[in-house]
A and B are shown apart, each in its own frame.
Chain A
Amino acid sequence: MRTNLLLAASLLFASSAGAAEHEGKAYIAEHGYDGPRTCETCHEGTARKFLDTVHWKHASKVSNVEGVDPRQEWGMKNRIYTFCNGNDLVNNLKEIPANEKGKTKLIGCNSCHPGNHLSDVGSTGPEAEQAIDCLVCHSSKYDYSKRRPYKTANGQVAMGQDRSAEAAMAVGKPAVKNCMTCHEGAGGGPLVKRGFAFDAEHDAHAAKGMVCVDCHKAKDHRVPTGFDPNTWANDGVRLSCADCHPGKPHKDQAYDAHLGRIACQTCHVPGAGGAVAKDFTRWTKLETGFYEPSTIVRAPSEAMPVYAWFNGTVVNQPHFIGPKGSRTDPRSKIFPFKIYEGKAYYDRKSGQLLAMDFAPPTATGNTLAGVASAARTMGLKDVQPVPGWQTIYFANSHLVTRQKALTCDKCHVPSGGRLDFQALGYSKAEIEKRRLMSASLWFDRLLEKELKKDE
């Protein structure tokens, strides 16, 4: 009762202090911060609901990918593909064996999971609820030096959290850095996996001062996401450019005429970045004595996307993960994708891709030891690892630009254009008839624009 009165008084005080300030700030200042227990004083039931989101489970039921059981949950918790070649199960956060210099470290795919690792991916119950690191996403004064893995007194590997009152008093809508702390670091280093920087230099939305959650606006911590051949888990809420830019958003009708079959990203995200290829069968030794997967990385916008029809469903084969769609499918549009190729081990007998536990190769470079360890974790027997390649199409939906968007002359040209019209299903005769690869299609219109620009 006393707590509630104090809280009410705090809220009254806070609301008069200013709308931007978190209403519970005074309460936290007086009572300190005790993790989700404190948050739940006002946000009752939120922790329990959060346990049922992709951020906590690293998985969800998936209905748009071929060959996966739609009754099971899939995601970085359990998927095997050649960008990561492991998952939360085989690469659970742990201490790796000592390298030749006698050094060890604590690493694992689930090091970004917003729990404390003692309550881990997909855990449930009161203990899990209290393990949630609300502030890592919601505080603008989070001390990230506290969010490090460490060993507890009984030898368990746990993830530290900043539960200081100072951090708790600075809660609010997640800022870009709250999201990017994890989302830029996936896949082996900063901007390696997705390869986009969300800053004013690289993205039109960021340049306008927008933050990630302005588009990925969550409800009950369910975060809307777009369709992506390589991101399967979702919170059941989808997002598209048209949510904010509906109808005919261009001044030029010719551009609007593209919208039926061309995704916004095709013109407005002309570059890609991040890793374009990795070899998990051959790790590179670092000066620290540790090894890492051999990786070729490109800066944001440095790589060229490829273009393909996509209807939101996904081809999922051992050597190919990519978009389904065609010109004849009315649900399909042409989208840009970042192409990635990964080399890893496949099982000679089954032809299936094998996962790798990174602990052994990180310490010694022995990749087959990593495959053997992962096989043990997954209960696979008698695997016969043979190297093979897999091609993956990543959605290319960030690095949005207005000024550098593709113009007519980037696609509709005799050679070297962005789009391979024949591969996309247009016959030579149609290309000729519609002048799809000729300046005669667009010259007058573009000239008029260029002249206006010069005025």
Chain B
Amino acid sequence: MKKLIAALTAVAALALLAAPAAARAGEKFLGKVVKIEMAGPEAKVATATLQDEAGKTVAITVQDKLTLDKFADKRITIGDDIKCKYEVKDGKNVATFFKKPGGC
């Protein structure tokens, strides 16, 4: 019985160790765009680097067409504040939300 409890505890501990990847599923970031890497206006993916107040940077992978269009015609450009949510997939921070925080 003790062995079973120990085994279950070990499994639980491993699950907790593995948790950060899952917990990062809903990361949020508010920062300025400091760099946009996009291979031409028709590209299917782009990487935007955001920097927050503290100087922390995060590279965000953007795949949705509307945001890519906004990069292409500079509706979103260097210096813009961005509210972003992303999920970590295969080591990349993939945006699920990438928008300017204010409208007017």
Contact = CB atoms under 8 A, between A and B. Distances in A.
Interface of A: 84, 91, 101, 107-109, 111-112, 141-146, 177, 181, 185-190, 192-193, 197, 199, 286-289, 292
A181 B104 CA distance: 12
B89 to A, nearest CB: 21
Contacts of B52: 287
Given A187-B104, A287-B30, 12 more contacts: A91-B104, A144-B75, A145-B74, A186-B103, A189-B99, A189-B101, A189-B103, A190-B99, A190-B103, A199-B65, A199-B66, A292-B101
Contacts, number: 59
B90 interface: no
Contact of B73 (A91, A143, A188): A143
B32 to A, nearest CB: 9
Given A143-B74, A181-B75, A189-B99, A286 B30 contact: yes
A289 B30 CA distance: 11
A141 B73 contact: yes
A389 to B, nearest CB: 22
B30 A108 contact: no
Given A199-B66, A287-B30, A287-B53, A177 B73 contact: yes
Contact of A189 (B53, B77, B102): B102
14 contacts: A107-B104, A112-B104, A141-B73, A145-B74, A189-B99, A192-B103, A193-B103, A199-B66, A286-B101, A287-B53, A288-B53, A288-B81, A288-B101, A292-B102
B102 A142 contact: no
B100 interface: yes
Contacts of B53: 101, 287-289
Contacts of A84: 104
Contacts of B104: 84, 91, 107-109, 111-112, 185-188
B102 A144 contact: no
Contacts of A188: 102-104
Contacts of B74: 143-146
B100 A288 contact: no
Contacts of B66: 197, 199
